[in-house]
Structure 1
Amino acid sequence: NIMSYPAPADIAGLQADANLTVAEQEGLNVGALMYNTQQKPFDDVRVRKALNMAINKKAIIDAVFQGAGQVAMNPIPPTMWSYNKDVKDDPYDPDAAKKMLEEAGVK
């Protein structure tokens, strides 16, 4: 039997069952936050960068997906042919994000 995409909350129980074999594979599911870069304040790259730095992505994966996922380093998942490991994500740094927003004039 095969079960595609079990609920994250069910994974630990499935793995604990000696009668089951849980096979895992990286997928193509990507969650993203999109901005209209034609409108203020998102037309300023500093605002977009600051918002990216203000989001604790690991905490979201842990809380929402019970750890069943990985933080995206860039918009292309590592399972796709066009993934570029040299493109790095901004660090989670809410203090720097706040300062960058202030510099961009966002309150």
Structure 2
Amino acid sequence: MTEPTPEQTAAAQRKGLDVHHAARLRGTTAEELDADADAFLAEIATFAPPPPAPPRSGGPRGGDVDGHGSGSVAAGAELYRSRNPRDEDNEAKRPARPWWRANGYRFEGGR
């Protein structure tokens, strides 16, 4: 891009344009440069950036997440236990040793 003339730079400063846009201005007199600067400002005003998107809320939340509970770890653990009861009968049937030892499997790394 060519360097702006002092007249172009002065017109750009009078109209509040960035100095980098001064070389774009066309005209031989100060009035013509000012008119071109006004036209340029009107042209770039139509290309305004879109408004920012509203902040995301994270979506709907459950009743126990909105702070309606006591909010402690103990309250969360109690809620989990109430929703997921233990199966006492099935726990008695589990082998005392892990399955790989119950089946006689040995790790090759020792142990």
Structures share a fold, TM > 0.5? no
- Please report the TM-score for the alignment, with normalisation by the length of structure 1: 0.18
Decide which structure has greater helix share.
2
The structure with higher relative contact order (CA 8 Å, sep 6+) is 1
Larger Rg: 2
